[in-house]
Amino acid sequence: MRNLLDSVLKPVRRASGAGSAQFAEWFMQSRHRFTITGLSRSGKSMLFTSLMTILKYRSEQQYQCLPLLRYLPMDLVENMWVEPLGDLPEFPVEEHMAALEQGEWPPATESVAGFQLTVRLRQTHSVKKYLLPFTDIVFEFIDYPGEWLTDLPMLDKSFTQWSDSAWAQQMNEPQNQFAKDWHEAVSGFDFEQPPTPDAINLLVSKYREYLLAAKAQGISMLQPGSFLIPGSGFDWQEYGFTPLPSRISSDLSSPWTQRFTYHFEVFQKNWLAALKQSTFRETDKQIILVDLFEGLNHSKSHLYQLRETLSNLAQTFVYGDPGWVQRHLLRQQKIAKVAFVATKSDLIPAAQKDNLLALLKDVTRGATAQLDKDEIQFEHFLVSAIQATDAGSNEQALRYVNSEGRYMEATFEPLPDSLKAMPADEHYPALPAGVPKDHLARILNGNGLDRLFQYLLED
């Protein structure tokens, strides 16, 4: 009898359980999907580490961090927890904190990781608190190597289109400074020989050498970036390809063009399409991290190529405001809010921050023009995930401990407020700040994250 009753009630219970979970998801959860788009070395991993640490200490130990984040008022936060995000590996926050403890910055990301962070807020409304006692704010974050991001625009191109555009980029400043050997190798290469695996490997390794050298010199637009890191799931040794000179790429009967077109399509289908589906999933908010110091450290032409890279990337994502019905009932996601963020803003004196913000606006001009066209909200922010520097002896100076443990004072000449104002023969060397001993306090005293997330979360 009991078994019979159980068998009857089981589906009812299951339906009821599923119903209550659905009810909770619909009415008690506010889900925010963030795409954090950042090129290699833009500080994504440190930002995630800092954000998780700050929210943990704010929620569990009541440290008054993020004072401008009114969307998550401290006195209403009941609990916070981190869960895995789908099948993605967990974000290694513990390893990153351990690295900081050892005096080392978190290592560069070489594979994808993700997490879902839920903050539970108490309901204060006198009636609602009996019906919906809490609201969960769910954040989804995915960390990935920045090199993968630069590959996304390749998804919508044919091999010939990509080859021609890559070739054109290599001819421009500053890439042409590092492409000489590669160009010489191509000039001397016999494209009459059949594309055997050995011949392809020779060409691919020469191209890879160029990519690695350019990456070391601060170039961001390098395709395919997936060839540069071991964590990528694409077998570039088997399906490698390189841009070809237009005399070859325009000849569709050339065995090289045919072979590289095939490899390119394998790259698009087996790697990029799957990557976009799993890692660059559709979201409703986007944070675009920009490391201006990489450009300031090298030259004016580096900043110009950063602007070009950001403009290209802006064309990769789907922007638009889907509206309540599309978002909640039809489950359609489009990026409706974008934040451009200059990271590591603690590496300049406070007096120069207005100029840095103006420079950020100028560097992102191409991308914002695209957003303006789609009538998408966007804003610019300066953020430091950790306050690694101290105030200097005057307004234009700051102090930091370098990687050798020496305490240095750096005095800055005024930063340019636009690309035009950046002198062609001058640069601002990036400060090689080491990890401070009091890194936890300096993470909790980080700057700008509250302003950024308040903007993204508020309606």
Partner 1 sequence: MSTTEKTYRSKVTQTEIDMQPPDHAMPAKRDAEPLTVVEPAKGFSAKWLALLSGIGCVVGFSLFEAVTFIESNFASSPIATSVLAVVLGVFVLSVSFMTLGEVRGYRKVTQFIHRRPKLSELARNDARQATLDALQLHASQFTRHSYAEQCYKRFTGLLKADHSSAEIVEMYRQFVAQPVKAKASEVVKKESMASGSMAFISPNHLIQSLMILWISMRTIKRVAKVYGLRPATAGNWKLMKILAQNLAAQSIFDLATDEMTNQLSGSLAAKLMENSAEAVAAGALNVRLGKTLMRLLEEEK
Contacting range for partner 1; rule: CB under 8 A; set: 98-106, 152-160, 278-286, 394-402:
394-402
Segment interacting with partner 1, rule: CB under 8 A, options 14-22, 68-76, 111-119, 336-344: 68-76
Of 100, 186, 211, 431, the residue at the interface with partner 1 (CB under 8 A) is 431
State both tokens at 186: 């191509």
Q: Does 387 bind partner 1 (CB under 8 A)?
A: yes
Question: Is position 97 an interface residue for partner 1 (rule: CB under 8 A)?
Answer: no
* CA distance readout (Å), 5 to 9, 11, 14: 6, 11, 14
Q: According to CB under 8 A, which one of 116, 299, 312, 368 is a site residue for partner 1?
A: 299
Determine how many CB atoms are found less than 10 A away from the CB of residue 289: 21
Under the binding rule (CB under 8 A), the answer on residue 65 touching partner 1 is: yes
As a whole number of angstroms, the distance between CA 306 and CA 169 comes to 12
Which CB, 108 or 213, lies closer to partner 1?
Answer: 213
Asked if 459 touches partner 1 (CB under 8 A), the answer is no
Under rule CB under 8 A, residue 409 binds partner 1: yes
- Residues numbered 119 to 178 that lie near partner 1 (CB under 8 A) are 177-178
Instruction: Please count the residues of this chain forming the interface with partner 1, following the rule CB under 8 A.
Output: 52
The gap between the terminal CA atoms of the chain, to the nearest Å, is 54
8 Å CB contact between 264 and 162: yes
The one-letter code for the residue type at 51 is L
Q: Which stretch binds partner 1 (CB under 8 A): 195-203, 310-318, 319-327, 444-452?
A: 444-452
The pairing of strands 113-122 and 134-143 is antiparallel
From 12-20, 41-49, 69-77, 148-156, span contacting partner 1 (CB under 8 A): 69-77
Query: Quick one: which segment of 61-69, 148-156, 189-197, 269-277 binds partner 1 (CB under 8 A)?
Result: 61-69
Instruction: State whether the Cα torsion 8-26-76-446 is positive or negative.
Output: positive
Dmax over CA atoms of the chain, in Å, equals: 89
The region of 90-98, 221-229, 234-242, 404-412 touching partner 1 under the rule CB under 8 A is 404-412
Secondary structure (3-state) at 48: helix
Cis amide leading into 224 (omega within 30): yes
Q: Is 67 in the site for partner 1 (CB under 8 A)?
A: yes
| 459 SS3 class | coil
Q: Is 61 in the site for partner 1 (CB under 8 A)?
A: yes
Residue 265 DSSP symbol: H
Question: Of 374 and 379, which has the nearer Cβ to partner 1?
Answer: 379
The yes or no reply on residue 324 touching partner 1 (CB under 8 A) is no
76 belongs to the binding site for partner 1 (CB under 8 A): no
Please give the structure tokens belonging to residue 438: 């009091």
CA pair distance 275, 149, nearest whole angstrom? 10
Binding to partner 1 by residue 451, rule CB under 8 A?
yes
Query: What three-state secondary structure class fits 36?
Result: strand
Name which of 162 and 412 has its Cβ closer to partner 1. Answer: 412
Per CB under 8 A, does 340 bind partner 1? no
Pick the binder of partner 1 from 111, 365, 447, 455 (CB under 8 A): 447
Q: Rounded to an integer, what distance in angstroms lies between the CA atom of residue 381 and that of residue 374?
A: 21
Radius of gyration in angstroms for the set of CA atoms belonging to the chain, rounded to a whole number: 25
Q: Of the candidates 43, 106, 243, 436, which one interacts with partner 1 according to CB under 8 A?
A: 436
Site for partner 1 in 217-276 (CB under 8 A): 217
Taking the least distance from each CB to partner 1, the nearer of 281 and 399 is: 399
Piece in contact with partner 1 (CB under 8 A), picked from 37-45, 194-202, 261-269, 395-403: 395-403
Q: How far apart are CA 131 and CA 242, in angstroms?
A: 61
358 lies in the site for partner 1, by CB under 8 A: no
Question: Does residue 206 interact with partner 1 by CB under 8 A?
Answer: no
438 interacts with partner 1 by CB under 8 A: yes
Dist CA 105 CA 43 (whole Å): 10
Shortest Cβ distance from residue 90 to partner 1 (Å)?
A: 27
Buried/exposed code over 415-451 (b: 16+ C-beta within 10 A; e: otherwise): bbbebeebeeeeebebbebbbbeebeebbbebbbbbb
User: 285 forms bridges with which residues in the sheet?
Assistant: 34, 337
Residues within the interface to partner 1 (CB under 8 A): 61-65, 67-68, 70, 74-75, 177-178, 180-181, 209, 213, 217, 299, 350, 353, 382, 387, 390, 399-401, 406-413, 423, 425-429, 431, 436-438, 440-442, 444-445, 447-448, 451
